[in-house]
Amino acid sequence: MEEKNTPIETTNSTTNTSTKNELESGRPIEAVYDVPVVVSAVLGSAKMPVSDLLKLTRGSIVELERRIGDPVDIYVNNRLIAKGEVVSVDDKLAITMTEVIKILK
């Protein structure tokens, strides 16, 4: 997943104390509550030549650039919005957000 080159600022705050009920346009934010978005958590990535890619079979191992315990990137509609840790919830993978990324305008 390609990260867009947007200036960012990170914060370790886990709670958002400011709640705006209106978008910058003055319209109520509730107008966008039902808009679907795609949320993705990226564990890591790897680069390899096409020749190695074509050799991959069931059971092949692809080493990622991240280590166990490193934060994963969390994207909303292909835009990096946070970092987090992989956890388990009811036998499913989940992400605990550890760092929220603020987009600078």
User: What is the overall mean pLDDT for the chain?
Assistant: 82
pLDDT at position 6 over 70: no
- Whole-number percent of the chain with pLDDT over 70: 73
31 CB contacts (<8 Å, ≥6 apart)? 23
Could you give all domains of the chain from N- to C-terminal order, each with its CATH number?
8-12+30-103 (2.30.330.10)
Instruction: Tell me the mean pLDDT in the region 65-79.
Output: 92
Give pTM, 2 decimals: 0.62
pLDDT at position 15 over 50: no
Would you state the structure tokens that stand for residue 35, as one six-digit string?
């808009």
5 CB contacts (<8 Å, ≥6 apart)? none
Whole-number pLDDT of residue 37 = 94
Q: Give the C-alpha separation, 71 to 99, whole Å.
A: 9
Q: Give the C-alpha separation, 38 to 79, whole Å.
A: 10
